[in-house]
Structures are given as structure tokens and as C-alpha cells.
Amino acid sequence: MIRRLGRVAAAAAALALIALPTANAEPQGARYVALGDSGAATTGVLNIDPAAPLLCARSTVNAPALVAQALGVTVDDRTCSSAKLRDLTGRQSGTVAPQFEALGPDTEFVTLHIGANDAEMTKFIIGSCHTAAVTGSCATAADPAWDAAIDAIAPGYAAALDEIERRSPKATIFVDGWPTYFDPGTCPAMIGLLADDAAYIQSKFDRLNAVVAREAAAHGATYIDTRAASIGHGMCSAAATRWFDPVIGGDTMLPYHPTFAGHRGVAAAVVDAIRSAGAPTR
């Protein structure tokens, strides 16, 4: 009897060792991981996910959520407002976990939308172009530092793409760019922004798209052009169809941030790209 009890105890101990993961086990990663900044994360003050870090203002109806719904998969959405490239690997503001923690060898596809904060887009838009009614046109007094800030994100973006591939070698990476902010002209909702300055701002987002598209192509990722699909849906379009809220907006209360229509438009482009690439979904 004693020997039999000993054998039972030994077998139970062996099963426990099999069931419990080791402390150093490699995280397997979510199947679909969404990474990025507020352009992917938020609808402003509406539909905020209470389970997400408050800082992130992550929406339950943002583009990653809509992509996951359309494809019939679960998303580990790590997008976070104000995120920069460094927050992919480090703790954002010391509190939000690194976004790359969601990645692992079982990850099958990744969406990435980030870089505008690194390129200091808000600083130049608000600090230069939205003061033009007082100081003169920002397009006339073009600041070469803006182009330099945009171009400077390339090495960090390349490193981020390489790190995604290292952590998730089976994953297909989809990089979505920035849609149309301004169709030609401007409108009262932009509070005095000059038409030339609106075109100038749009040219900077086009430059940002070019940088990101180039790095995506060079590092094996699929770049998704959302600019063409969003023409006619800029901030001065009708409230129901514009993809971004202007300074006076209704959807998000956050100028230059995606509306519900914007998230739906981006999600549709991403879903089409994922399906075209043959990435496994359901």
C-alpha cells in the first residue's frame, strides 16, 4: 500500500510539472495584434474601453476592433493615444505596458499605425499653421525642420518592423498610412486656417506616408494606402462622411483624429489587404 501511494504521489507530481508553465517560458502571443497611436486607438471621448489604460483613450469601435469583427478573430489591441515608437518596447509614461508584449511566435498578423507623434506633427501644425492668421502663412515660411522631423523616424520605424518579425516570425505585418486630412481648400470649421496652409499640412502627411511606405517595403511589411480611398472625406467634408474631425467637430471632440466614418474606412482597407494577402482569419 505504501509503495502504491508513493507511485500515485510521484505520478501526480509529474503531471503538475507538465501542467505548470516554466518561469522562463516564451510568451506565445495573440493571433492578431494591433499596435499604434491615437490614429488607430481612439474615437476621442466616445466609446472608450474601460478595461484599457485611461491614458490610451482606446475605443471599442476603433479600426482594430472593426477589423477583428469583420475577420471573425479576437484582437489584442495595444494601440494607445500619444504613443511613439519607443513605446512599442518601453512603458509609455511609465505606466502603460510595452505594446510589443502582445507579440509572440503564434501571432499570425499585425497591424501597425504609428509615427506621427515621433514626427512632431501636432507641434508643427498647431505651433505654425494654426497661428497663421496672426503670424502669416506657414506654407510661405516653410520650416525645413518639419521635413527633417518626418524623415528622422525612418530608422526607428525600420527597427520596429524588424523587431516585430523577430518576435513573431510567422506574422504578416500590415502598415496603414494616414488618410486624407484636407481636400483642396478649407472651411470655417478649421477656424481661419488658410487654404495654402491646409495644402501644406496635407503635403506633410503625404511625406510621412512616403517614409512609412518605403520602410514597410524594405522590411517585408504590406503598406496599406488609405490616402486615395479617403479623398473627398477630408476634415471639411460633411460631418457624416468626413474621416477626421476638424477643430470644430462633433464625433470625437479631438481635432485631427479619426471619426467613426474614418475608422470604418480604414478598417475596410485593412480587411481588404489582409484578405488579399491570404492571411488566415476564421
Q: Residue 174 sits in which domain range?
A: 28-277
Question: Which of these is catalytic: 38, 59, 230, 237?
Answer: 38
Q: Is residue 59 part of a domain?
A: yes
Residue 209: its pLDDT value, please? 98
Q: Terminus-to-terminus CA distance in the chain, angstroms? A: 52
Among 215, 271, 207, 205, CA closest to 85: 215
- 65: domain CATH number? 3.40.50.1110
pLDDT band at 250; cut points 50, 70, 90: confident
Q: Is there a contact between 274 and 71 (Cβ–Cβ < 8 Å)?
A: yes
Q: Is residue 254 part of a domain?
A: yes
Residue 81 has pLDDT above 70, yes or no: yes
Q: Is residue 8 part of a domain?
A: no
Q: Is there a contact between 185 and 236 (Cβ–Cβ < 8 Å)?
A: yes
Residue 280 has pLDDT above 80, yes or no: no
Q: Is residue 9 part of a domain?
A: no
Helix (H) / strand (E) element for 196: namely helix 195-218
Q: Is residue 11 part of a domain?
A: no
Active site residue 257: yes
Q: Is residue 13 part of a domain?
A: no
15-29, 60-74, 151-165, 242-256: which range is least confident on average?
15-29
Give the separation between CA 118 and CA 58, rounded to whole angstroms. Answer: 19
Domain count, the chain: 1
35-49, 121-135, 144-158, 253-267: which range is least confident on average?
121-135
Give the separation between CA 33 and CA 30, rounded to whole angstroms. Answer: 6
Active site residue 38: yes
For the chain, what percent of residues have pLDDT higher than 70? Answer: 87
Q: Is residue 16 part of a domain?
A: no
Question: Can you say how many angstroms the Cα of residue 282 is from the centroid of all Cα atoms in its chain?
Answer: 23
> Does the global pTM surpass 0.85?
yes
Question: Which of these is catalytic: 113, 130, 233, 257?
Answer: 257
Among 150, 148, 145, 107, CA closest to 127: 145
